[in-house]
Amino acid sequence: MVNAEMIINATTQNFEAEVMEASFQTPVLVDFWAPWCGPCRMLMPLLDKIVGSYNGALRLAKVNTDEEGEIAGSFGIRSLPTVVLIKDGKPIDGFMGAQPEGAIRAFLAKHMPIEQAQEPEVLDEVGEQEDLSEAVAKARDDLAADSKSEPAQAILADLLIRSGEVAEAQQLLNGLSESGRESSEAARALTRLNFAQVAQEAASESVLLGALATNPQDLKARYQLGAQMLHGGRAEAALEQFLAILKADRGFEDDLGRRALIDAFKVIDDDALVGEFRRRMSTLLF
């Protein structure tokens, strides 16, 4: 059951005391939302449930950005929903977009002892990892059966990148012929590899979020954050970052926002999500 004392509506009047100061005693999730935001309404009850499962070891502060624009502005909020974890008086991590329960619990587990939660299972992620491991194993078998098949080589590389085995994937892609690199399978894998390399070379997500909180126009940090989110499986949140770059400055690094969106569309399997962001991109371009 959710302890009502652990969930508050944050305002400019109580934010300092109930969020920043309180975070020295108990970490605080800050949920930036708005009444018109559909994904916000989907995420909110899930956050209530998860915070309740921590049995007083985690607080939740809800910020209605329509009413509390000053707070949202101080954190550089550009898309909704955005959730920021505050600990010891400072933001240490966060995520954007409505996420599944498993992903949120995995996010929290990086910063809090998992035994604090009554429902620590990350069933969705575990299932996804098992499915991915099986797919990698099958792709290895397919390549072993036809070692000269460059499409099979590219497919395995793409799956390895998703599994975090970037170095092995790069070796496979480096071994492709010039014509092999032009296949759709290779194009997808090479695009995913680029995002993975950007993600690996960037600062941590918490550092990037802090940079954006200080300067929302730090478009390089926003691109790196988007790459990390995409590499980590948070496609919608990544697309929000790339779209924000497009909105902010079409000329930034040769229209990087548009190019990042188009590349991301190549590696995201959710047709409905891709369709939504194609439409949103088009409204900015034409």
CB burial string 183-211: b at 16+ within 10 A, e below:
bebbbbbbbbbebbebbeebeebbebbbb
Residues involved in catalysis: 37, 40
What span, in angstroms and rounded, lies between the C-alpha atoms of 282 and 269?
20
Contact 83, 93 (CB under 8 A): no
Instruction: State the Cα angle at 121 between 115 and 126, rounded to 5°.
Output: 130
Query: What are φ and ψ of residue 7, in 5° steps?
Result: -125, 125
Residue identified by tokens 């400019």 is 12
Instruction: State the Cα angle at 35 between 257 and 79, rounded to 5°.
Output: 15
> What single-letter DSSP state applies at residue 4?
G
* Integer CA distances (angstroms), 43 to 46, 81, 97, 243, in order: 5, 8, 8, 21
Q: Which H or E run includes 8?
A: strand 7-9
How is residue 81 written in tokens?
């929903």
Nearest C-alpha neighbor of 143 from the set 128, 130, 158: 158
What span, in angstroms and rounded, lies between the C-alpha atoms of 154 and 193?
11
